[in-house]
Structure 1
C-alpha cells in the first residue's frame, strides 16, 4: 500500500467523511487514492473556500475536517481559512503536497516552505521527509488538532514520499471522547456553587462553548432565575424566545442585554464557554464584571483571567459543569421579567428597504430549525441585534477573525456536517465578490444552501467608519450596482430579489423542496443607520 492510500485509510478509521480542496500535481497521489478509500472529495473553486468550508464543518460538528492541496500556492490561498479555524478553535488537518525531495533547493516549480508560512496560525506543523515517519506524524497531528483547545494542524509531504510504500501497521485512531475529556476540578465546582448561593441576583453569559447544551443551560437559568446574554459567537445556543434570554451582548447588543449588564441588579456573572474577546465585551469594557463576583468556565485554560480576573476559574467541559451547578445550588424563588421586545422600537430614519425589518421578518418565513451562518460586514451588526433564532435553530459566525467571504463557502461546510437541517448564509455584496464562486461548489454537489446576499452597492462599514473617524470619505467606497441575482442566474442558480418587505412572503415557496442552492438578493440603499458604534468607538480607543 502506498503512503498516500495509508493516510486516507487512517483518516477513514478516524471517522473523516470529506476531503475539501483542489487537486494539483504535487498532491496527486492523495487525490488518486481517494478512488480506493471511501472518503468523499469536495472540490472547491478556490483553496480559500476549501479551508473556510472545512473550518465551519469542524467548528459546528466538533469532528476533524481535512483540507488537501498544493504546497506553496494552494497553502497561500488557504491562509485565511486556516487562520479562521485557529480563532474558531476548529479541529482541522491540512495536507499539503510538496515537490520531490531530490528537487529541493534547486528552484523547482511551486517550491516554497509552507510549514514556515502557517506556523503562526496552526497548533502544529511538520514537513515529513522520511517515509517511516509519515503515519506517526499523521497520528500525532490529528491528536493535537482534536485536543482542546482544538485547532488546525499542517503536514507537508513531498510527492515522492506520498508514492512510497507505507510502513505497517497503521496507527490506532484517536478516541475523540478520550482526547476531549476535560474534567473540571470538584473543589472548583463546589466553590462556584457556593459563590452562586451567596449571590442575590446574577447573569449568565453564554459563548460558543455552550453549543449542544441548550437544554442544560436553560435549566440552570430557570433554576437560578438568572437571565442569559449570549456572545456573538454564542448566538443561537439559547433560542430567542426563551423567557430568560436577553439576546446578544457585545458588539451590537440588544437593548435589553445592554441595559441589564449596565444596571446594578446582577452581583455575580457566570461566564460559560467564551474567551471574552473584543466582540463579546464591547472592546474589553469591564462594565460586565465591575463590582461583581465572576465565575468563568472554559476548556481552554489560556483564556481564564486573560481579560477579566475571575473569582473562580474552572478549566473543564461545560457538559459536566453546567449540570453540576444546577444540581448543587439552591433553587431560586425569585422572578425575572424579560423586557419584550428586547430592542427599542423601529424608527423610519432612512430611505429604501429596512434591513432590520427584513431580518425581524425572516424568522416567520424560514424553517424553525434553520442554521444561519453569518458573514462579515455592516449587515453583521443588524443580524446580531435583530435576527431571531427559533427553538431548534442555530447560528454560526467567526467574528474573532472576521474574514469577509468566509460564510459563503462555510455554508456548504455546515450542510456537509449535517445534511438533515436547512442552512441559510447571510452575506453582503462585498463578501460575494471576494468568495462568491463557491456558491457554485454547492451547486456541483447539490447542496440546498440558501444564500441571502445583502446588496447595498458599497463598502458601507468602511464608508461609515471613515466618516465617523475622519469626518470624510472616499467616493470609491460606493460602487456600481450589479445584480448578483442576474449573475448567478447565468450560472444556473435559481434566484429571487427582495426590494420590498412584502417580498418576504414569497420566500417559503421559493425555498421549498430544494435540490441545490438558491440565492436571495436583498436590495438596500445603505442609508439605514447600523448599530455599529461599539466597533467604531473601539477603533478610536
Structure 2
C-alpha cells in the first residue's frame, strides 16, 4: 500500500473526518488515496488560503483536527496566512504540503520550495518526511501534537515520490489522550474565592473567546457574584447581551457603557476569563482597565499571563472545571439588595436597542450599515451563529448585533484576513450542520475570497451570505480620512452588482436596498433553503464607523 494511503488511514482512525484543499501534481497521490478512504470527506476549494481558514473553523468548533492540503511552492505559501491564523487561534489543524521528488531536490524543479522552515514559527511542529516508511508515524505524531497541551496547527511536508512509495502497513501505537493539563490547585481557587468574597459587589468580569467553552458557568458565576459582565470583541456571544448584568463589548468598537464602567473606580477586582488581553480586547492596553484594581486572570494558556498587564493572581487550566469549583466554593447566591436590583433594571434599560440620536438614519433611498446590521440581529432565527468578516462592517457588528441567548458570534480579529469570514462560515456550517449560520461580509472581502460561495453551492452547504456593498474599502477609507484628513481615490471603486455575480454562479441571490426587505420570516426561509443564499445589501457607505479606539492607536504609532 502507498505510504500516503497508510498515513491517511491512520489519521482517520485518530478522528480526522475532513480534508480541504486544491489538487495539484505534488499532492495528487493524496487525492487519489482519499477516494478509497470514505471516512475522510474531501472538499475542493477555490484558493489554498480558504482551505486553511475552513479547516481552522471546522476544527475550532469540533475540537478535532482536519486537514488543509496544498501543493509544493505557491500552494504551500498560500496556506501560510491561514496557518498563522490557526496558530494565533490555538486551533488544531494538520497542514500537509507536497514537494518535488527527493532525487531532484535542490536542482530547481518546478515549484520547488523548502516549506518546512516557513511554517516553523507558526506551528507547533513543522517537519519534512523523506523516508516513505516514516509517513504514517509522522502524520499520527502530527495529529497528537496538534491536540496535546495547548492545541495548535502542525505542518508536514511530503515529496510526491515519498507519498507514492509502497510500504508495509503495520499498526501504530497512538497516544491522543493528552489534553490541556488542569494542574490548578485547590488552594489557588480557595485564595481567589477569598479575594472575591472580600470585595463583595466591588468587582467586574471580562470574558474572552476562551470563556465560550463554559458559557453556562460564566452566566452562573456572574449571577452568583452580581457582577457586571463585559466581553472582548472575540468573546462576544459568550454572555447574553440581553441579560441585566451585560455591559456589552469592551475593546475595539466596544460599547461606551462597557468602556466607562470598566475604566471607573467603582470596583476593585477584575476577573478576566479566557482572554489573552491583546490589543483589540483591551482598548489598546488602556491602563485604566487595571489601575488600582486587582486583576485575576484565568486562562488555559499560562503564556498569556503578564503580557500586557501584571496580574494579581492567575490560574491556568481548563476553564470549565475552574469555574465549576469557584462557584462551589462561593456557595449559595445571596438575595439581591433592593438598590442593586434597581441598578440592574437601569442597566437592562440602557442596553436595550436604541438608535444614536446623532447617527444618520436609513431612508427609503439610503440604507445605513448600522441599521441593516441591527436588523439582521433582530430577524435572525433562534440559535444563529454569526461569522463576521474583517473591515468596517465588523465594527458595526460588534456594537449592533445583540447576542440573545442561543446566539453565537465569531470573528478572526487577530490574524484573519479579509474574506476569512466567508471561508470560516463554511467550516462552521460543516461542523454544525443543523445550526443556522449567517456570514456577514463586505464587498472588499468578497473580492478576496468570494468565489468560495461557489464551493458552498457545489457542496450543497446551506449558508446565508449577507454582503454589505458600500463600493469602497470602508475601514481603510474612513481610517485614512480620520487620521490624515485625505484619502487615495483608489480606496473607492465602481459599484458592482454582486447579486448578479452570484446569480451567474447559479446561486439564489437578492439585492436589498430597504430596511423592510429583511424580515424574520424572510431570514428563516433563506436559512432553510438547503442551499446557499446570497444577499447583497446596498449602502451609501458615508457613515463613519465606530472605530475611534483603533484610530487613536494608529495616530499614536511610530514607525
TM-score w.r.t. length of structure 1:
0.96
Matches within 5 A, 1:97-496: 97-176=98-177, 178-200=178-200, 201-330=202-331, 331-334=333-336, 335=340, 337=344, 338-342=347-351, 345-347=355-357, 349-350=359-360, 352-496=366-510
Unaligned runs of 5+ in 1: none
Cα distance in 1 for residues equivalent to 2:378 and 2:170: 55
Partner deviation per Cα, 1:214-245 (whole Å, 9 max, x = no partner)? 11111111111112111111111122222212
Query: Mean Cα displacement is larger for which, 235-244 or 415-424?
Result: 235-244
Partner deviation per Cα, 1:352-375 (whole Å, 9 max, x = no partner)? 212222222223321111111111
What secondary structure does 1:96 align onto? strand
Cα distance in 2 for residues equivalent to 1:349 and 1:269: 33
Cα distance in 2 for residues equivalent to 1:184 and 1:390: 33
What secondary structure does 1:233 align onto? coil
State the 1:507 CA deviation.
2.9
Tell me the equivalent position of 1:536: 551
Cα distance in 2 for residues equivalent to 1:526 and 1:347: 19
State the 4+ residue runs in structure 1 displaced beyond 4 angstroms. Answer: none
Query: Do the aligned residues in 2 keep the contact of 1:225 with 1:332 (CA within 8 Å)?
Result: no
Tell me the equivalent position of 1:83: 84
Cα distance in 1 for residues equivalent to 2:350 and 2:495: 35
State the 1:147 CA deviation.
2.3
1:17 aligns with 2:27: no
Partner deviation per Cα, 1:276-328 (whole Å, 9 max, x = no partner)? 11000011112111111111011111101111111111111101111111111
Tell me the equivalent position of 2:32: 32
What secondary structure does 2:322 align onto? helix
Unaligned runs of 5+ in 2: none
State the 1:71 CA deviation.
1.9
Cα distance in 1 for residues equivalent to 2:354 and 2:279: 24
Query: Do the aligned residues in 2 keep the contact of 1:58 with 1:90 (CA within 8 Å)?
Result: yes
Cα distance in 2 for residues equivalent to 1:527 and 1:37: 52
What secondary structure does 1:427 align onto? strand
State the 1:504 CA deviation.
1.4
State the 1:21 CA deviation.
0.4
Cα distance in 1 for residues equivalent to 2:412 and 2:465: 17
Query: Do the aligned residues in 2 keep the contact of 1:129 with 1:158 (CA within 8 Å)?
Result: yes
State the 1:386 CA deviation.
0.9
Query: Do the aligned residues in 2 keep the contact of 1:378 with 1:460 (CA within 8 Å)?
Result: yes
Cα distance in 1 for residues equivalent to 2:523 and 2:425: 19
1:186/1:523 CA distance change after superposition, 3 Å? same
Tell me the equivalent position of 2:542: 527
Partner deviation per Cα, 1:416-452 (whole Å, 9 max, x = no partner)? 1111101111111000001100111000100011001
Partner deviation per Cα, 1:464-501 (whole Å, 9 max, x = no partner)? 11122222111111110001111111111111122111
Cα distance in 1 for residues equivalent to 2:334 and 2:287: 27
Query: Do the aligned residues in 1 keep the contact of 2:439 with 2:463 (CA within 8 Å)?
Result: yes
Query: Do the aligned residues in 2 keep the contact of 1:98 with 1:159 (CA within 8 Å)?
Result: yes
RMSD, aligned CA: 1.7
